[in-house]
């Protein structure tokens, strides 16, 4: 069983598990299936809006799609979530990504 099959099996057993949704998004992104990855990121955002790790990766995927307004909004929301969670590492990464995209705009 490969990693994707394993994650899909976990998803079937625990459909709302935040880490499984995140891992599936990353696995599809790695396979360059960005549409499916986006779907998993958005589902994770809907079901677990406090999942700090989501926002940086979703923002980067939105940048790849050249949806810069959505990426900026995602980073800003992520900053709020990271601050509330007192996750200063994630806050710094999100802030850096936001500054980089603002410079490119």
Among 2, 73, 17, smallest CA distance to 58 is for 73
Determine the pLDDT at residue 83: 97
Whether residues 76 and 94 fall in one domain: yes
Backbone angles phi, psi at 63, to 5 degrees: -60, -45
Looking at the structure of the chain, the number of domains it has is 2
Among 56, 31, 32, smallest CA distance to 41 is for 56
Whether residues 55 and 103 fall in one domain: yes
pLDDT digit string, tens, across residues 60-87: 999 999 999 999 999 999 999 999 999 9
Mean pLDDT of 4-21: 95
pLDDT digit string, tens, across residues 31-62: 999 999 999 999 999 999 999 999 999 999 99
Determine the pLDDT at residue 98: 95
Whether residues 61 and 100 fall in one domain: yes
Q: What is the pTM of this model?
A: 0.92
Domain that holds residue 19: 1-48
Q: Identify the CATH number of the domain in which residue 76 sits.
A: 1.25.40.10
Whether residues 56 and 105 fall in one domain: yes
Whether residues 103 and 63 fall in one domain: yes
Whether residues 44 and 54 fall in one domain: no
Whether residues 8 and 33 fall in one domain: yes
């Amino acid at each position: 069983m490969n990693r994707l099959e394993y994650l899909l099996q976990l998803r079937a057993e625990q459909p709302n598990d935040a880490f499984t949704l995140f891992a599936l998004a990353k696995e599809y992104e790695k396979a360059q299936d960005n549409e499916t990855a986006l779907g998993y990121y958005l589902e994770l955002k809907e079901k677990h809006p406090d999942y700090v790790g989501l926002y940086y990766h979703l923002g980067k995927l939105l940048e790849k799609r050249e949806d810069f307004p959505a990426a900026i909004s995602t980073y800003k929301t992520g900053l709020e979530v990271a601050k509330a969670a007192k996750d200063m590492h994630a806050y710094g990464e999100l802030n850096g990504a936001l500054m980089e995209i603002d410079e490119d705009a």
